[in-house]
Structure 1
Amino acid sequence: MKKRSYLFVPANSNKLIEKGLTSEADAVIFDLEDAVALSEKNVARAKLLHHLKTVRCSSRPFVRVNSTESEYFEEDVRTFAALDNIGIMLPKAETKEDIARLETLLDQEDVMNKPILPLIETAKGVWNAAEIASASLKVEALAFGAVDFSLDTNITLSDSGEELLYARSQLVIASRVAGIEAPIDTVYTNFKNSEGFLHEARQVKGLGFQGKLLIHPSQIALAGEIFTPKDEEVEKARRVINAFREAEEKGIAAIEVDGEMVDYPVVRQARKIVNSFSGD
């Protein structure tokens, strides 16, 4: 299953919810938190519930509930817990206790297999990323929220992104240690700057991220362009796999393909490329 593009959709607009339900993104995150005014929280929750109960989403759906510190958190979780195949994004995830509280609510609703995406947005969350990633079998992947993180840490965001290198790398390492999927990178807020998006997406792919959070449908194709292996990459990966298979049958575990040395780690990487290309 491809997980390159996660599109945020405000849950306070019938029109936007309907568009989100037919989105071409790999996943859609219907947002009850930052996109909804305090006075509209209950109305937006009911509105989103109606849509999700009556129309099947063409992408993988998630609901970003309000944080554990919010008065709306428990009702958000209980409202969407029973809906099949709809995951929960937990904002401001800072400790394993945050995940435990969410999981307790899901257990109380007899929901056993609801995927959780903790959104890491603070210094405390980055510091505790490994324990958050390991807190529950329901945790599918970590997501990074750089805007709130920069506010929390007094960082000034730049085009280079160098000030976020440590935090991003921490999420990648924590995910690997916990044995969960690679993380999802933060939104790129200037949705009219395609080149800037592509530059940042290439950068975080190189760091080990598998996709990006998006704020506009125009970014879906851009994310797909970066996080989907190119045809020539896939062809080379298949040559590597086939050549190594033949060599291995002869008792050889190190060969040369296209002028490059190939051993077991290289073959494992080649298989990852082929699998990510062919995944639905």
Structure 2
Amino acid sequence: MKHRARPYRSVLYIPGSRDRALDKARNLPVDAIIFDLEDAVAPDEKENARATLQAALAKGGYGNRYKIVRINGFETRWGQEDAKAVEKMDCDAVLIPKVETAAQLDDLAKVISLKPLWAMMETPRGMLSAQEIAAHPRLAGFVMGTNDLAKEMQTRFRPDRLPMMAGLGLCMLAAKAEDIVIIDGVYNAFKDTDGLRGECDQGRDMGFDGKTLIHPSQVEVANEAFAPSKVEIDLARRQILAFEDVEAKGQGVAVVDGKIVENLHVVTAREILRKAEEILALKE
């Protein structure tokens, strides 16, 4: 797992221009933060936002939270300067919006020399180029921009997200093929806890590593949904023990709860336990 070596259950957007929000984020139980210089910052605040964010990151206090900075696209007048500023910031990665080709990542890599690159996947063209983009050697993760995708596709918002399933699926397959992180899009109705939980469960079932969030009130639901449950942890342990016991005795097939346990199930079980351990480590 070259990039997926930590939890990304909850990934909260924070405006890079707001001191109060930047300060509050230091104490939120999120796995990662996207410090936003793009959509969350008005045009006349863009330059000040860079300085505000750089100062906040230099001050520190974000602990084990993975720090991603979303810049403006290079097609805007702010993108290049954002990237130059982020290169000097105390952050873990840089996120570029509306990626549609690997060439966009090449351009970003010319400015960002060491930090991992992340790509916002939010257009039909981006979905159709997902494999090429995911295979870029500097890319560490996808973030799904489902609001922009819905706008581009002219779809209605539905609880089952059926209209965008093809796009999400293409990105999912590309991310898994290249072993990079893939984070689900936001849930807009931040006061609708049940709706958020349903979309988190759907996203986890699809294979997402976590969910992007727009409000601190959504963090608890995402953290719970994308973490192994006690039942899953217990089953994983029993599967591993049963499989190892059968192997040691040179017997036939391991069975747990009336179901056959093969090597592929043990691989998944060990992954569940590893993730549970990493979540505990983040709290230390």
| Residue 39 in structure 1 maps to residue 40 in structure 2 | no
Which runs of structure 2 are paired with 1:247-266 in the superposition (5 Å)? 247-252=246-251, 254-266=253-265
- By how many angstroms is 1:273 displaced? 1.0
Q: CA 1:39/1:253 → structure 2, altered by over 3 Å: closer, same or farther? A: farther
Q: CA–CA distance in 2 between the matches of 1:253 and 1:103?
A: 52
The 10-residue stretch of structure 1 (30-39 or 13-22) with the greater mean CA deviation from structure 2: 13-22
Q: Contact 1:12–1:47 at 8 Å: present in 2 too?
A: yes
| Residue 61 in structure 1 maps to residue 62 in structure 2 | no
Which runs of structure 2 are paired with 1:1-280 in the superposition (5 Å)? 1-58=6-63, 59-107=65-113, 112=114, 114-136=115-137, 138-181=138-181, 183-252=182-251, 254-279=253-278, 280=281
Q: CA–CA distance in 1 between the matches of 2:143 and 2:275?
A: 19
Deviation digits for residues 173-205 of structure 1, max 9, x if unmatched?
A: 001122323x10000010000000000010111
Secondary structure at the aligned position of 2:140 is classed as: coil
Q: Contact 1:244–1:253 at 8 Å: present in 2 too?
A: no
**In angstroms, what is the RMSD of aligned CA positions?**
1.3
Q: Contact 2:7–2:209 at 8 Å: present in 1 too?
A: no
After TM superposition, which residue ranges in structure 1, 4 or more long, deviate above 6 angstroms? none
Q: CA 1:4/1:253 → structure 2, altered by over 3 Å: closer, same or farther? A: farther
Q: Contact 1:240–1:257 at 8 Å: present in 2 too?
A: yes
Unpaired runs of at least 5, structure 1: none
Q: Contact 2:57–2:90 at 8 Å: present in 1 too?
A: no
- By how many angstroms is 1:84 displaced? 4.1
For 2:130, the aligned partner's letter is A
TM-score by length of structure 1 reads: 0.94
Secondary structure at the aligned position of 1:256 is classed as: strand
Q: Contact 2:149–2:164 at 8 Å: present in 1 too?
A: no
- By how many angstroms is 1:29 displaced? 0.8
In the alignment, which residue of structure 1 is the partner of 2:3?
A: none
For 1:141, the aligned partner's letter is G
Deviation digits for residues 67-126 of structure 1, max 9, x if unmatched?
A: 12111111111112133442111111111011111111113xxxx2x1222110100111
Secondary structure at the aligned position of 1:218 is classed as: helix
Q: CA 1:83/1:46 → structure 2, altered by over 3 Å: closer, same or farther? A: closer
TM-score by length of structure 2 reads: 0.92
Secondary structure at the aligned position of 2:33 is classed as: strand
Q: CA–CA distance in 2 between the matches of 1:133 and 1:192?
A: 33
For 2:149, the aligned partner's letter is F
Secondary structure at the aligned position of 1:140 is classed as: strand
